[in-house]
Structure 1
Amino acid sequence: MQIKAICTDIDGTLLNGDRVLSPRLLQAIARLPKDFPIILASSRMPDAMRHLQQDMGRLGEPLICYNGGFVIHDSYQEVLDDVAIGLDHCEALVKIAKGTQVHVSLYQGEEWYEPAFDYWAEREASNTRVDPTIQPADQVLAMWKARRKGAHKVMCMGPAEEIDFFFQNAQQHLGEDLHLYRSKDTYIEIAPKSISKASALQLLLARKYDIAMDEVMAFGDNYNDIEMLQAVGMGVAVGNARAEVKAISDRVTLSNKEDGVAVMIEEVLLG
């Protein structure tokens, strides 16, 4: 099998314990040809991914954002796919959170809206190196209604017991149309059910590269990576991945804190 591209998750996979790209990983990437695609696939917004591309010397390459809901190619200023949560569903999610301690973040394209710069917003800004626009959710939804837009992602953060309540309520009423993914016990990331990292990667390869899915090596650690790891030629779980992710993967490498992605690049592509 000849590997012609890499597609990788970011948090818990590509980033080390300090939430940065390690020197070993950057050295491994620098040894790959410049025309060898390294595609980032994440629930993150575009600007939370571009600084990582810059660190790798890969700024301008395609990005699979919001778990596949927004696929862009900066070099050509091109949006390849755009699938959002409908405004009625956005309104329903905000309503479920009312009267609770659940903090609702709204994402659309290049924009991130927060009702206040509280503990949760500050934490996310620190993790992603992006600052939100502070605006009440009802104003954001009214603006989107006028523009006929929806959310590429709704993220809910809060105390674990409150997140449990929100998750069960939202899953019961909206689960048929939305994918609710618990990345942590205090986080829920919500996206349209029709998209995935796998479907976005397949579209991107067909539109921009003469590369088949079975010529890709992909890395991941969590439930939202499973479809992608199953769909490519070599699906690799990092050592800290959930047991379900390891079970479906072709290979298991070291953890993100032990340079697992770099180790596989060195072994498979640079050995």
Structure 2
Amino acid sequence: MGNRQNIKLLVLDIDGTIAGISNEVRQPVIEAIAEVKHQGIAVAVATGRMFCSALRFYEAIGAQLPLICYNGALIQDPKTNTVHQHFPVPIPLAGQILDVLETPPYRDKITIHFYIDDCLCVRDMGEDTRKYLERTSAPVRVVGDLRELLTVEPTKILALSENLELIDKLSADLCTTFTQDQLHFTKSTPTFFEITHPLANKGFAVQYLAETLLGLKPENVMAIGDNFNDLEMLKYAGIGIAMGNAPAPVQKIANWIAPSIEEDGVVTALSKFW
């Protein structure tokens, strides 16, 4: 494990890490992060959420660095709106993803979200989308035919279903159809299958903040996350911490396991290291 004395940057996931069932950052978490900032540690947010949906969490904890959103597909500074990096899904590949998702058994059983210009675009307003909007308060466009959007590269594509076996089948199908240098696949929850550009993952994004913006090394970084979309940043960081609610494979690669989100595990983690 890295030396806590070397840590200069703390990177935090949102859902399942600093925000749980309440969809808010609780006061003990805010206070623990404030203490870390008081000691001169830079604080950043890395999330699968949209930029607009992540902003209130970024502000709640007083993060200072550009915001990593869409699992690293977009890095944008909330203070200046400067876009540091944007790696959208190429249009031909987005079309091929639709080809797969619009065939049986997926067509009527999986909800497709396209994200373009920080707006959620959907075919229709189904139950999965309604639940998503309740948690994210995202702007939404109902477009009918998603193919009409394929004049612009989507920042991210999300496939949603409560049928976990179907999500696993989709994952297997897409992993055999596309190579790792074409697209990046991950899950932020068991029901969310996320598709991005191959350079769009939290590991590369945190590396950009640390090395390009701050002149740091991996051993200067602590990252805390709770799901498969956090794997790359937990591996990159000198100290990678998984939440107690993280799936077993995520916990396995972490340097330390914090208590769960509903136990304010970030507070325990930060009190252990500072």
CA contact (8 A) 2:225 2:242 kept: yes
Relative to structure 2, which stretch is displaced further, 96-105 or 182-191? 182-191
Q: Please name the residue that 1:25 is paired with.
A: 29
Are positions 1:68 and 2:76 aligned together? no
Match of 1:104 among 112, 115, 118: 112
Give the drift of 1:187: 2.4
Distance 1:185 1:5, change over 3 A: closer
Match of 1:7 among 11, 18, 24: 11
1:139 maps to a residue whose letter is E
Residues in 2 aligned to 1:57 and 1:164: alpha-carbon distance in whole angstroms: 37
Residues in 1 aligned to 2:240 and 2:37: alpha-carbon distance in whole angstroms: 21
Residues in 2 aligned to 1:164 and 1:231: alpha-carbon distance in whole angstroms: 26
Q: Secondary structure at the match of 1:218?
A: strand
CA contact (8 A) 1:40 1:63 kept: yes
Residues in 1 aligned to 2:84 and 2:34: alpha-carbon distance in whole angstroms: 27
Q: Please name the residue that 1:41 is paired with.
A: 46
2:221 maps to a residue whose letter is V
Q: Please name the residue that 2:231 is paired with.
A: 226
Are positions 1:84 and 2:92 aligned together? no
Are positions 1:151 and 2:160 aligned together? no
Q: Please name the residue that 1:140 is paired with.
A: 149
1:166 maps to a residue whose letter is L
Are positions 1:53 and 2:61 aligned together? no
Residues in 1 aligned to 2:207 and 2:232: alpha-carbon distance in whole angstroms: 11
Give the drift of 1:91: 0.9
Match of 1:121 among 115, 118, 129: 129
Are positions 1:198 and 2:207 aligned together? no
CA contact (8 A) 1:89 1:174 kept: no
Aligned pairs, number: 262
CA contact (8 A) 1:214 1:234 kept: yes
CA contact (8 A) 1:16 1:22 kept: no
Give the drift of 1:109: 4.0
Give the drift of 1:150: 1.3
CA contact (8 A) 2:119 2:138 kept: no
Residues in 1 aligned to 2:76 and 2:108: alpha-carbon distance in whole angstroms: 35
1:168-179 aligned at under 5 Å gives the runs 168-176=172-180, 177-179=182-184
CA contact (8 A) 1:182 1:189 kept: yes
Percent identity between the two aligned chains = 25
Query: What 5-or-longer segments of structure 2 have no aligned partner?
Result: none
Q: Secondary structure at the match of 1:76?
A: coil
